[in-house]
Structures are given as C-alpha cells and as structure tokens.
C-alpha cells in the first residue's frame, strides 16, 4: 500500500538502520532505501518485531511515503550526498523535505539548502552523536536550518532522542547550517578529550608503570566521581578486553597511529578563519597527524633519548593527575563553546549555548557529568562571554590548576609528550593575563613592515620612525 510511511531513511548502514529501529520502537511507521541488498536484508532481520521493510528501487521508496515526504539521509559526507540529492529531486514534489544527518561540512549544507529552496524542497542539516548505541536507544541530535521542515519531524526526533531529567537531547539549533556547525565543534571537543585521555593513559603507563588492570581500576574509580563521562567509560573498558588472536590485552597490540574523518580538522580551520583560539583542539588534530610518522619517531627515539626520572609518591601523582584531567576537560568544553559563540555572531546562527549544553548532557559522545555544571552556567547567564567567566567554574579551576601545573612540570621533566595538557594550561594562563607581551608584536610589525600600532594613551592608529636617532 502506498503513502503509508511517516519517514524514509536513505542509507541503511549501522547508523541509519539503528535509528530506524529506534523510530519503530517508538511507534512510528518508517521504511528505508539502500542499493545494497545485504543492508535491506539486515533491516528486515533486525526489524522483524515491527515488520520493517526496505526498498531497493528509489521510485518505489519515494511513492511509499506520506505527503509531504520526510526523507532522512545517513550516507557518507561529501559528493555522495550531492549524488543522492540529484537522484531524489526529480521524484519529489514541492513541500517535500530532505534531512542530511551525516557529518557534512557546514558550507556544503548552506549550498544545498539554497539550491533546494529554489526548487521548493525543504532541507536541513542535522548532526547526530552517540554512535551505534546512541542511534539505537537515544542519540543527541543537532538540527538546524529550515524550521518549517524541522517542526514536521520534531515529534519523531524528540521521541527517539536520549533523555536527561526528562528533557529530550534534541533542540532546534538555529538557521542556516548551524546544526552541522555545532556537530562539527562537538567533534572537535571530542578530539581534544580523547587526546587528553590518551596523554593521561601514557603518564599512568609509562610514568608510573601501571599495568592494564591498574589502568582499568584507576579509570573506573575516576568515572565514579566528577569525571564521569562516556569517553572515560570507553577508556576504562578498553583495558579489560583481550585479543582473540593472541590472548593478550588488545590495547597492547594496536598500532599507535590514529586516523580521522575530517571534523576535527574542519573545526581547527574554521577557528583560524574566525581568529579564535582553540589550541587544545588543534593539538589533538596535530597529534593524530604526527602519529603517522611512526618510522621517523622510532628513529628519533633512539637518536634523542631522554632519561626519565622516577615519579616519587605515585598515589599523590595519581590524585594530581585526576585534577589535571578535570581541568583539561573544562578547558576542552570552554574552547568549543567559545568558538560557537564567535560563529553565532559571524554566521548569524543565533545559537543558544544553554540549549546546546543541555542536549549534549545525554546521548552524545562528549556527554559528561561536567555538562550539568556548564548547563547551569549558561542558565545563570545566557550571554556568558566565556566558560571561564562563570563564578562556579572559576571555583573549580582554582581548586585544580595547581595540580595541573605539577603534572605538566613532571611530565616535561620526564620527556613525555603532553601537547594537549600543556596547551590547556597555557590557554588558561593566556586568558587570565591582563597585560600580554603582544605590544612587542605590534612594535615589530610596525618596525619591519609599517603595519601601524595602537597606543595605550591615545585613540587612533599610529606609525613610528623606528630608524630615527632614538636608537
């Protein structure tokens, strides 16, 4: 029977299929389309309880949907999205809508929205976070763009999203490509948090000699306190998994080179364009890039050794490391949220950081107990210029910064690379410094390039004759 499905999904891989199953669980009539017969079969097998069916012919899929049609895409970002849209458009009617739920670059989303609007088709981009489990049982979703289109699927999205204190972890983000922009920054924060955790692991393992059982116990203990977060839980559980091939711990047979899909790099690039500092996120991106030079790293490790000093009083150092990790986590969020504030002004996204921190509290990869404090900070002051400016956050920083300094000093003395930790404390110190040395930078630029400078005692733009008799 035609015109019976409320929503159709294009792309029945892990994310698309699990999101459809989630929707079916909540009582929505949904279907899917995929060119791969194996994906269609998998949908039918997993969705047997709801009699879920998919389509192998795009035209049949389109004709099965209620009007106006609601079509969600969960396909790889880039040219594939454009190809799918190109196939779809001739089969659609004015008023139908397309929702791109992949990790598309926000500039692509802006372009697609403008092109489809000219043809009378609603379009919006929506970031989804939570991975396979989140899609199946409740993700965090960041829709932005065409609000008319969003409102038609709002009941579905709120029903399938994660919930925290009864609040759905989905909200209309803002106009334009704001949804995909916020998801991009979410991923940038994720990069930074993962790098911080990797450096923590490295210090525990190589600085203190912890084995995998001790690593598991330490991360488990920390996850029961203020550091509780999804990424810490993942990190904890990594250390108990054995390799089926060797019987050894799996973590010990994994190569120390990390790949990426681009969202971290995009976050760094946009921050550079907006001239806003996010050094810890940048260091996380750079660390993945540097990890690929394995052969060179091995050679330089032998050529440039650094004798490590023994870490005295390991229990004290472990406590300091917990505080340092907490400080760095605050800073990861602070940098990402500051970037969202700048982007909102530049791109007119009208972002509500209170709502964004609210929907990040559950379902997404960067969910953490700390986000409740961040949510409260933006509830108290929606126009907070920076997370560091909140009084309650300042109290937390004052408590943990001294230990952060001790950890970083000890790590540097021992020759351990901690780029994210080091960048976090330097970022903090730079922001709490009233008078920076950049007056010298202004002078240098004017000296060699006549780029002018500003004065502390007069308004206006000035240029000096640096080669005068004053020298």
Residue positions annotated with a catalytic role? 183, 190
Compute the half-sphere exposure of residue 313: CA atoms within 13 Å on the CB side of its CA: 8
CB-CB contact of 390 with 381 (8 Å): yes
What pairs with residue 73 in β-bridges?
10, 100
Whose structure tokens read 């998801």? Answer: 183
Q: CA nearest 324: which of 198, 211, 425? A: 425
Q: CA nearest 227: which of 328, 370, 381? A: 370
Does residue 395 sit in helix, strand or coil?
helix
What distance lies between CA 471 and its chain's CA centroid? 51
Q: Is 205 exposed, middle or buried (0-12, 13-18, 19+ CB in 10 A)?
A: middle
What distance lies between CA 261 and its chain's CA centroid? 12
What distance lies between CA 145 and its chain's CA centroid? 19
Q: How far is the CA of 162 from the CAs of 136, 139, 327, 391, in angstroms?
A: 10, 5, 27, 29
Compute the half-sphere exposure of residue 20: CA atoms within 13 Å on the CB side of its CA: 38
Three-state secondary structure of 401-441: HHHHHHHHHHHHHCCCCCHHHHHHHHHHHHHCCCCCCHHHH
- In angstroms, the CA 201 to CA 208 distance is 10
């Amino acid at each position: 029977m035609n015109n019976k499905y409320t929503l159709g999904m294009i792309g029945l891989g892990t994310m698309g299929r699990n999101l459809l199953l989630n929707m079916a669980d909540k009582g929505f009539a949904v279907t899917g389309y995929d060119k791969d017969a194996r994906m269609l079969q998998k949908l039918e097998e997993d969705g047997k309880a709801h009699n879920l069916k998919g389509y192998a012919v795009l035209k049949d899929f389109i004709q099965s949907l209620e009007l106006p049609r609601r079509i969600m895409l969960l396909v790889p970002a880039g040219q594939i999205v454009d190809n799918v849209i190109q196939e779809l458009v001739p089969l659609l009617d004015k008023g139908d809508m397309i929702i791109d739920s992949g990790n598309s670059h926000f500039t692509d989303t802006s372009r697609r929205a403008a092109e489809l609007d000219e043809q009378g088709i609603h379009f919006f981009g929506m970031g989804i976070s939570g991975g396979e489990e989140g899609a199946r049982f409740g993700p965090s979703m960041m829709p932005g763009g065409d609000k008319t289109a969003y409102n038609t699927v709002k009941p579905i999205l709120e029903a399938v999203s994660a919930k925290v204190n009864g609040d759905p972890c989905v909200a209309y983000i803002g106009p334009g490509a704001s949804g995909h922009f916020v998801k991009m920054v979410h991923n940038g924060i994720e990069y930074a948090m993962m790098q911080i955790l990797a450096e923590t692991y490295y210090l525990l393992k190589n600085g203190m000699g912890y084995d995998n059982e001790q690593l598991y116990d330490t991360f488990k203990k920390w996850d029961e306190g203020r550091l509780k977060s999804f990424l810490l839980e993942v990190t904890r559980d990594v250390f108990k998994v054995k390799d089926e091939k060797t019987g050894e711990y799996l973590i010990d047979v994994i190569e120390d080179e990390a790949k990426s899909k681009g969202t971290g790099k995009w976050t760094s690039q946009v921050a550079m364009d907006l001239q806003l500092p996010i050094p810890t996120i940048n260091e996380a991106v750079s660390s993945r890039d540097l990890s690929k030079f394995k052969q060179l790293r091995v050679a330089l490790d032998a050529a440039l050794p650094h004798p490590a000093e023994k870490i005295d009083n390991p229990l004290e150092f472990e406590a300091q490391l917990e505080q340092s990790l907490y400080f760095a986590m605050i800073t990861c969020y602070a940098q990402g949220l500051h970037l969202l504030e700048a982007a909102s002004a530049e791109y007119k996204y009208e972002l509500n950081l209170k709502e964004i921190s609210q929907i990040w509290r559950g379902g997404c990869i960067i969910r953490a107990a700390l986000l409740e404090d961040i949510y409260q900070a933006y509830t108290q002051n929606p126009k907070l210029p920076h997370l560091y400016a909140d009084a309650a956050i300042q109290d937390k920083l004052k408590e943990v910064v001294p230990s952060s300094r001790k950890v970083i000093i000890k790590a540097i003395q021992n020759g351990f690379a901690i780029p994210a930790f080091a960048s976090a404390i330097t970022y903090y110190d730079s922001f709490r410094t009233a008078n920076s040395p950049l007056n010298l930078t202004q002078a240098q630029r004017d000296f060699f390039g006549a780029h002018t400078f500003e004065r502390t005692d007069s308004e206006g733009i000035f240029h000096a004759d640096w080669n005068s008799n004053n020298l």
